[in-house]
């Protein structure tokens, strides 16, 4: 593992000027961790992104291909990131292709223009049915370079001799289309996905080694408490972040009365930006950790990956069939050895058998439930149906 961390005086290389387009933490400064996942073959660049310190990793994977490199799932191209990729280019050849394998993931789409400008000779491959909301803008308006943008499958596939490409969807969501394309690098056995599969554990991802503030912020019980760093606090904070990121409003958290909040702010000994000046509008019930452990077990357990609840309840809620068909296609691939998603943990051991096992488990359990921790996700789905923003009926691939 190697950190790209610059000296304190050189944090300007972490500047991300385009953050107002998607104003998420850590806003205009994006520290990046670079890790080598498979020696001389696969690397990843990781940053954090999130809301109110509910920060999770976002990851771009770099794969060695014949004659150069491929970048999968674009990331904010800070000077630090570009420098890191240039170092790989010096050893392994130029960036030949940049792949945006999702039609809907805004957090992966917005970094595309800057990354393409940084590597002007690379071809840009995007999944079909790219869309924008509230207006459907042409691809060139989204900053995709018209002279070197290709559509996956329609215009061919990048590096087909060594990579397999497996599409999920397109699925009509009403507001737009969900379409994602997984990529298997046969040489390293790495299965790259963007959002459709994740792996979560109770161990905070290594990117938090650069700055554990989000973990320590959420590890507290009250806003008046200081941020205290310890391995236990980091795990506690990470489990709570997992609950927020997956359910938005977990069943084991409540919002205290305003007077209680203000009292906390008044009592806070350390009023500083890192603690949001003592503002902490959460009260966790004593059983919160059970809810977190259940989430981790459901998404991992003996099969160390799964579908994130937010995607299951809001994207695939009426499209279980296409998701299972995609898992079935993945399970038939040869050489699958590790999963590298664009979020949460990576890499994770994976096999054809575990992919088939996940499909079997999904068939046996309740799909997209509405009870317990899933209540808010279910009510969001109901509201979208009520407003006729998403279709009510079961959807099949278009």
Cβ atoms of 220 and 280 closer than 8 Å: yes
Q: Which of residues 200-219 bind Fe ion (CB under 5 A)?
A: none
Q: Considering the rule CB under 5 A, would residue 105 count as an interface residue with Fe ion? A: yes
Cβ nearer to Fe ion, comparing 81 with 198: 198
Nearest-approach distance from CB 99 to Fe ion, in angstroms = 14
Cβ nearer to Fe ion, comparing 105 with 113: 105
Q: Which two tokens stand for residue 361?
A: 């488990």
Cβ nearer to Fe ion, comparing 105 with 250: 105
- Beta bridge mates, 48: 57
Q: CB within 8 A of 126, min separation 6: which ones?
A: 99, 100, 101, 103, 112, 139, 144, 149, 150, 151, 152
Strand 95-100 with 123-126, pairing: parallel
Cβ nearer to Fe ion, comparing 103 with 252: 103
Gap between the Cα atoms of 73 and 341, Å rounded: 9
Nearest-approach distance from CB 126 to Fe ion, in angstroms = 15
Nearest-approach distance from CB 73 to Fe ion, in angstroms = 8
Nearest-approach distance from CB 15 to Fe ion, in angstroms = 22
Cβ nearer to Fe ion, comparing 105 with 143: 105
Nearest-approach distance from CB 58 to Fe ion, in angstroms = 7
Q: In angstroms, what CA-CA distances link 296 with 142, 228, 314?
A: 36, 24, 19
Nearest-approach distance from CB 304 to Fe ion, in angstroms = 19
Cβ nearer to Fe ion, comparing 98 with 224: 98
Q: Which two tokens stand for residue 354?
A: 């575990």
DSSP labels, 271-331: --GGGGGG----EE-TTHHHHHHHHHHHHSTTS--B--HHHHHHTSTT-HHHHHHHHHHHH
Nearest-approach distance from CB 370 to Fe ion, in angstroms = 24
Site string for Fe ion, 156-195 (x = CB under 5 A): ---------------------------------------x
Q: CB within 8 A of 284, min separation 6: which ones?
A: 221, 240, 252, 253
Q: In angstroms, what CA-CA distances link 264 with 36, 213, 273, 280, 285?
A: 44, 19, 15, 8, 18
Q: Considering the rule CB under 5 A, would residue 312 count as an interface residue with Fe ion? A: no
Cβ nearer to Fe ion, comparing 195 with 312: 195
Q: Considering the rule CB under 5 A, would residue 84 count as an interface residue with Fe ion? A: no
Q: CB within 8 A of 16, min separation 6: which ones?
A: 27, 28, 29, 30, 76, 78
Nearest-approach distance from CB 330 to Fe ion, in angstroms = 18
Cβ atoms of 395 and 318 closer than 8 Å: yes
Q: Which two tokens stand for residue 82?
A: 């570009």
H or E, element range at 100: strand 95-100
Nearest-approach distance from CB 280 to Fe ion, in angstroms = 27
198: nearest Cα among 23, 35, 350: 350
Cβ nearer to Fe ion, comparing 30 with 92: 30
Task: Give the interface segment with Fe ion, choosing from 25-33, 101-109, 332-340, 347-355 (CB under 5 A).
Answer: 101-109
Nearest-approach distance from CB 169 to Fe ion, in angstroms = 15
Cβ nearer to Fe ion, comparing 6 with 50: 50
**Residue that is written with structure tokens 């459709």 in the block:** 196
Q: In what order do the strands lie in the sheet with 348-349?
A: 163-172, 177-185, 190-192, 338-340, 348-349
Cβ nearer to Fe ion, comparing 42 with 73: 73
Q: Which of residues 20-39 bind Fe ion (CB under 5 A)?
A: none
Contacts to Fe ion by CB under 5 A: 105, 195
């Amino acid at each position: 593992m190697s950190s790209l961390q610059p000296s304190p005086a050189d944090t300007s290389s972490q500047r991300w000027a385009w953050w107002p387009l998607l104003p998420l933490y850590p806003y205009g400064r994006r520290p990046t961790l670079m890790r080598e996942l498979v020696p001389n073959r696969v690397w990843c660049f990781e940053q954090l992104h999130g809301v109110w310190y509910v920060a999770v990793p976002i990851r771009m994977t770099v794969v060695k291909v014949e004659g150069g490199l491929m970048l999968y799932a674009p990331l904010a191209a800070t000077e630090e990131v570009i420098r890191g990729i240039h170092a790989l280019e010096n050893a392994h050849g130029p960036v030949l292709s940049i792949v945006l394998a999702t039609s809907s993931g805004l957090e992966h789409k917005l970094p595309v223009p800057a990354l393409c400008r940084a590597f002007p000779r690379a071809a840009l491959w995007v999944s079909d049915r790219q869309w924008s909301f509230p207006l459907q803008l042409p691809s060139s308006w989204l900053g995709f370079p018209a002279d070197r943008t290709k559509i996956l499958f329609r215009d061919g596939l990048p590096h087909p001799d060594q990579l397999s490409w497996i599409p999920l969807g397109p699925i009509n969501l009403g507001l737009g289309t969900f379409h994602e394309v997984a990529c298997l690098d046969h040489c390293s056995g790495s299965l790259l996905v963007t959002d459709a599969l994740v792996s979560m554990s109770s161990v905070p991802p290594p990117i938090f080694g650069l700055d554990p503030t989000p973990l320590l912020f959420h590890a507290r019980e009250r806003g008046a408490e200081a941020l205290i760093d310890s391995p236990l606090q980091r795990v506690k904070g990470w489990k709570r972040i997992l609950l927020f990121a997956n359910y938005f409003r977990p069943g084991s958290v409540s919002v205290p009365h305003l007077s209680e909040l203000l009292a906390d702010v008044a009592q806070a000994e350390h009023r500083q930006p890192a603690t949001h000046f003592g503002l902490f509008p959460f009260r966790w019930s004593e059983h919160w950790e059970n809810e977190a452990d259940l989430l981790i077990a459901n998404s991992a357990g003996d099969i160390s990956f799964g579908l994130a609840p937010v995607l299951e309840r809001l994207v695939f809620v009426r499209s279980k069939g296409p998701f299972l068909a995609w898992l079935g296609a993945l399970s038939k691939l040869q050489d699958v050895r590790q999963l590298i998603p664009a979020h949460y943990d990576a890499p994770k051991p994976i096999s054809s058998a575990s992919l088939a096992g996940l499909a079997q488990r999904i068939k046996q359990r309740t799909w997209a439930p509405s009870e317990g921790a899933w209540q808010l996700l279910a009510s969001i789905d109901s509201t979208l149906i009520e407003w006729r923003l998403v279709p009510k009926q079961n959807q099949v691939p278009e």
